[in-house]
Amino acid sequence: MALRLYNTMGRKIEEFVPIHEGFVGFYGCGPTVYNYAHIGNLRAYVFLDTLDRTLTFLGYDKKHVMNITDIGHLTGDADEGEDKMLKTAQERHQSVLEVAKFYTDAFFNDIDRLNIIRPDVVCKATEHVQDMIELIKRIEANGHTYMSGGNLYYDVTTYPDYGKLANLNLDDLKAGARIEVDQNKRNPYDFVLWFTKSKFENQALTWDSPWGRGYPGWHIECSAMSMKYLGEHFDIHTGGIDHIPIHHTNEIAQSEGATGHKWVNYWLHNEFLVIAKDKKAAESGQAEKMSKSHGNFLTLQSLIDKGYNPLDYRFFLLGGHYRKQIYFSWDAMDSAKNSRTALVQRVARLAQNAGGADSLNYSKIYSKGEACKTENLSEKAKEYIEKFQAALENDLSTPVALSCIQKAVKDGSLKPEESLELVRRMDSVIGLNLVKSAADFLAEQEKEKKASVPDHSGDPEAQEIDALVAERVEAKKAKNFARADEIRNMLSSRGIIITDTPNGAVWKRS
């Protein structure tokens, strides 16, 4: 089986065929750094990470590029609303660049805590304005622009395929259009490539350009930076479904308007994280997407403050397919936390059966294609790897992939060492840090065990009892239950009660 992905361009599952054999170039829309990312935003980056890890698992070389929007982005995708960056800078009494740096650092802190691999290229909009200007020049030379009211606009009527990603019909759009907010536009769906007449006084960041001093429109940055690092025709572009009708539609128009040929082969979009008062409200359609504008957002730190590990949230997200809405609730988070904890503890038990914590080599990193090879595996283990790979190749089906790990750690027909190897391989994609978490769990258990052992130095009788209890433990391990019972009875007659705990046998005087 080959990798198959749902391509929004065409609305169907397609076999993935890269432009260059063995190599994948993909671009994912990054954050606008004017506030903390909320957990709904972070869903997109867990999805991107799954794609990134899957490509490595399947043996591809890849180049993953992501932008950082640190130039003002309006609250409406259609060139309307407030400038988010400027608004936050004014509220915090800081410069726009200071705000951008603070929230960029906060974003990557969240990314790291979710065990998301950082993209190969992270590019800031403020550092690529000249690339945007050069691209706009090409768009202008091809006859797709006009100046109006001091701003340079893209004329969507000059691009016959406008709206093909979102299945929009331009004639229908014109007929049903409301009165334009921007009276400078010839068509309500035209969009700004370059602002010289800002809607805001004293715009914080401006640059010289052939059209006057100003700043770029939001959409142009993704086109310019993706082409700079991936070329004018690349494999995959990703983003949230809210990007389809305007942002990605406009990206395609300006990119193909500049180059005159196809820009991206596969468009992948993740669904929303939705939130409601309760499950009944969600099922009745009263849920809404988590967003800053709605004021209903939660940050990753807010989950941590409630006692959740960031990887509990990653587990929660992987339990749903990226193209399906996920309903967020605290009950769902509790379930994810309990399931992840149980999985970690099972991996820890496998390690104990395989020789202890030393068997947990969590520093091992698999090179491209290595984790899915089935040489030197038993037939049963091969089945698990093959099912896991098939799940990923079926449009990144993480719920099925996750269940493969859960079943493998419970399968008593596998040797503990082989089960651990399966966990390492599968977790190279799932990214739950299972082996390291299991090692941490065992270390904490050992710490608690040592803390529970009293200091009996200077007490010969207690030392004698310790020795007998230790002998009983060894007798049980050797299945010499007669001797184990004899020791228990002997100590019991002396008023010593033995209790077997997860941390070992302990005793006390009655």
Same domain, 301 and 367: yes
| 13 within domain boundaries | no
| 283 within domain boundaries | yes
| 15 within domain boundaries | no
Q: What is the pLDDT of residues 25-63, one digit of tens each?
A: 999 999 989 889 999 999 999 999 999 999 999 999 999
Same domain, 156 and 109: yes
Q: What is the pLDDT of residue 447?
A: 77
Same domain, 179 and 253: yes
CA atoms within 13 A on the CB side of 334: 3
- Please state the separation of Cα 28 from the chain's center in Å: 11
Using DSSP bridges, classify how beta strands 234-240 and 264-270 pair: parallel, antiparallel or unpaired: parallel
221 is in an annotated binding site: no
Q: What is the pLDDT of residue 78?
A: 52
| 12 within domain boundaries | no
The CA distance from 238 to 429, in Å, is 18
Q: Count of CB atoms within 10 A of residue 15's CB?
A: 10
Same domain, 227 and 318: no
CATH number for the domain spanning 439: value is: 1.10.730
Residue after which a domain boundary falls, among 270, 294, 323: 270
Q: How far is CA 293 from CA 84, 115, 272, 316, in A?
A: 11, 27, 15, 24
Domain extent for 293: 279-443
20 is in an annotated binding site: no
Q: What is the pLDDT of residue 437?
A: 94
| 17 within domain boundaries | no
Residue after which a domain boundary falls, among 253, 270, 287: 270
Same domain, 438 and 483: no
| 92 within domain boundaries | yes
Tokens 């020049």 appear where?
137
Same domain, 57 and 113: yes
Nearest to 81 by CA among 247, 220, 199: 199
Same domain, 473 and 433: no
Biggest CA-to-CA distance, the chain: 99
Same domain, 186 and 141: yes
Q: Give me the number of domains the chain comprises.
A: 3
Q: What is the pLDDT of residue 353?
A: 87
123 is in an annotated binding site: no
251 is in an annotated binding site: yes
Q: What is the pLDDT of residue 84?
A: 67
Between the CA atoms of 289, 292, 296 and 299, what dihedral angle is there, to the nearest 10 degrees? 100
| 199 within domain boundaries | yes
Tokens 């050992």 appear where?
446
| Residue numbers in the chain where pLDDT is lower than 70 | 72-90, 92-93, 170-181, 199-202, 276-287, 291-296, 356-359, 362-363, 450-455, 502-503
Same domain, 130 and 160: yes
Using DSSP bridges, classify how beta strands 326-328 and 288-289 pair: parallel, antiparallel or unpaired: unpaired
- Please state the separation of Cα 143 from the chain's center in Å: 40
Residue after which a domain boundary falls, among 270, 304, 320: 270
| 6 within domain boundaries | no
380 is in an annotated binding site: no
Same domain, 309 and 383: yes
Same domain, 170 and 150: yes
Same domain, 88 and 227: yes
pTM score of the predicted model? 0.86
